[in-house]
Amino acid sequence: MTDTPNIPAILKEANLPADLMDGVAQDLMGCLRVFRGAFLRLPQVKVAHGTDLFNLPDGNSVKKLEGFMVTMGAFKELYPEDDGKSSDDEIKPPDCFSINFSPGSKYGECEVCDKGKWHGKSPPECKESRRCIVFIKGHRAPYELKISTTNFQDFSKTTFEGVNTFQVPYYLLNFEMTLSVEKKGKMAWSNIQAKYTMMDEVTTNKIVARKKLYDQYKDYFEKVYVPRAGRAEAAEDAGDAVDTEPEGEAKTLKKKLKTKNPPKATNTALDEIEF
């Protein structure tokens, strides 16, 4: 068989003829080429607010998540006042945002911004949260998980304690996450509880595999959220079409994909990663 991109184990186990396996591998490169090196947002695990359930991208709901976290991003987002049309901030662009403690995109330094402060009993207009890239047992792809304003402080504290206790990066720890429901009057909300343990059977191969994932996704939030939001905002102001041309590493990858010998595609399947 010729040198081909990595193929998921499920296909390897099918004992396909060599020429068919090569064909599938080249089709994979064709599929990737369509996206022109762009960084696409990962599927999301969502908390069913007011319940003890996580909603998975495959349509199933579970009470417990087991897996490991690859990277985490700190977010501050100021959304327009509710217009009554949608209650889901995920589909509305923020007026101002900060990722990983960078200055706000519109109002500058968050520490001195009035929109991030309490005013009497009124909470800040700007909401703080965390977003994580996680691999979950039984699933073959990474997911994005948002830790909401009501949860991020406890979650961050628990994650810090896990890292500090085991003295390793969080991507070498396994987690178990569950939800509890709290109620006050007619209000109900979900709280995330996370427990960290060292990954099973520490080996060189497992550490290398997880570090490779960390290196791959450590800049995910800046690459996915910042450039496209900035270009879309500028285009909207100017009345022009949005420029989706990739930049930086994505632009370099695009150039490579145009060559006669495109680079190998990478595919990380959970059946190739031991927890």
Diameter of the chain measured on Cα atoms: 70
- Rounded distance between C-alpha atoms, residue 184 and residue 256, angstroms: 56
- Rounded distance between C-alpha atoms, residue 93 and residue 79, angstroms: 7
Per-residue pLDDT of the chain (275 residues; tens, 9 = 90+): 344 445 566 677 777 788 887 787 777 766 756 555 455 788 999 988 888 899 999 889 999 999 999 999 999 999 887 554 444 555 577 889 899 889 998 999 999 999 999 888 888 999 999 999 999 998 888 999 999 888 888 999 999 999 999 999 999 999 999 998 888 888 888 889 999 999 988 888 889 999 999 999 999 988 888 754 544 443 343 333 333 344 444 444 344 334 344 333 344 444 456 66
> Cβ neighbours of residue 221 under 8 Å, at least 6 residues apart?
71, 73, 75, 99, 100, 131
- Rounded distance between C-alpha atoms, residue 249 and residue 71, angstroms: 19
pTM across the whole model: 0.68
* Whole-number pLDDT of residue 169: 93
Token duo for residue 6: 């990595």
Q: What are all long-range contacts of 157-166, with beta carbons under 8 Å and residues at least 24 apart?
A: 158/193, 158/194, 158/195, 158/196, 159/69, 159/72, 159/194, 159/196, 161/196, 162/194, 162/196, 163/196, 165/196, 166/196, 166/198
Kindly list the domain boundaries of the chain, sorted by start residue.
1-34+245-275, 43-242
- Rounded distance between C-alpha atoms, residue 147 and residue 209, angstroms: 25
* Whole-number pLDDT of residue 35: 55
* Whole-number pLDDT of residue 38: 54
* Whole-number pLDDT of residue 27: 78
At residue 55's C-alpha, the angle toward residues 127 and 116, to 5°, is: 0
